[in-house]
Structure 1
Amino acid sequence: MSETVEGGSAPDRLAGPYEPDELDRLDEQLIALVLLRARRARGRQSDRRASGLPMSPLARENAMLRQYTERLGREGTAIALAVLALSRHR
């Protein structure tokens, strides 16, 4: 544990300019995948709506929620709900 001083911890102040690392690259990949999934879901919703069907089958959404929850725990549910919300709005 580092000692906190005014202006942040000593290691933070000494770190110098921020340089992207592996976590930043992973974040960019996650964002790109979430956006891709949202676009694909909106496309399917449009197709279903044009066919007179509900925008999204609830069974599919429930299966997705279960999968995220089983794999990631309670936080997975929140992630799945956020992904579904992004898929509906944009």
Structure 2
Amino acid sequence: MRSVRTGVSAVTYEANSVIVVGGFNGVRRLKSTEFYDHRVGLWYPLPDMEITRSNFGIEIMNGCIYIAGGFDGTRTTSTVERFDMRAYKWEVGIC
């Protein structure tokens, strides 16, 4: 990964890649997203989530990544975000 993190969530995308989202870097919660392409062995940044968080649920469905819940550094959250791979953007509250 391009950045050190714990409490991260990850999901397989297609056959040769993994998407890693959020987490905690030892100082603060993260909203960054990284894409690992196994075919070339490289990490690439994706757009940041809207909300910083760690320890959350993640799922991929119909070309979108869904993030639910987690810890934002102050409290547990019930928010949901969706990353649309085709539109290449995050949206809050979409479910």
**Same fold by TM (over 0.5)?**
no
User: Highest relative contact order (Cα 8 Å, sep 6+), 1 or 2?
Assistant: 1
Structure with higher strand content: 2
- Answer with 1 or 2: which has the greater Rg: 1
Structure with more helix by fraction: 1
